[in-house]
Amino acid sequence: MNTSSTRLDASELQTLVERYFSAVDLRDTAATLACFAPTARFGIANYEVYYQGRDTEVRGMYERLAARYARVWHGDFDHVVDVPHQRVASRFRVENTTHAGELLRKNNCNFFEVQDGLFVRVLVYMSGDNSLT
């Protein structure tokens, strides 16, 4: 069980997740990273790809994502919030538009673990090609 000193309620956990997705959609790397703890681990589980450290590997992943696509969108969320364990499971749609104008659609599930109001671990399961390499 999570024993952090700052515990978020259900609404705050959901708001953190949606603030994160909004920052990703804006391709605002600084705002995206502000949702993560310094030692955060981010994984694309179905591709067995993992990034460690908010300011190093995780940052690089988001910088590559922002450069790779002309537009990124996440929406149609279904969240399941576990307040006692400070976790959120989210199912959603993704639309990435390439610089050539091609629209790529996916269905993803993310699992967020929160400590002291920040993501310490995120696991992604995505359909289609890995857009986070």
Q: Which residue has the tokens 């959901």?
A: 14
Q: Of 117, 114, 118, 55, which Cα lies nearest the Cα of 85? A: 114
Q: Are 88 and 80 in contact (CB under 8 A)?
A: yes
What is the Cα–Cα distance from 18 to 102, expressed in whole angstroms? 25
What is the Cα–Cα distance from 88 to 53, expressed in whole angstroms? 20
Cα 28–chain centre separation: 13
Q: Terminal CA-to-CA distance of the chain, rounded, Å? A: 31
Nearest-Å Rg of the Cα atoms of the chain is 14
pLDDT for position 133: 83
Helix, strand or coil, per DSSP, at residue 64: helix
pLDDT for position 1: 47
Domains in the chain, ordered, with CATH? Answer: 10-126 (3.10.450.50)
pLDDT for position 118: 98
Q: Could you tell me the mean pLDDT of each successive run of 10 residues in the chain, 133 residues long? A: 74 98 96 98 96 98 95 97 98 97 97 98 94 86
Tokens for 91?
A: 């199912």
What is the Cα–Cα distance from 58 to 122, expressed in whole angstroms? 11
pLDDT for position 5: 73
pLDDT for position 116: 97
Segments in the chain forming alpha helices (H) = 10-25, 29-33, 59-68
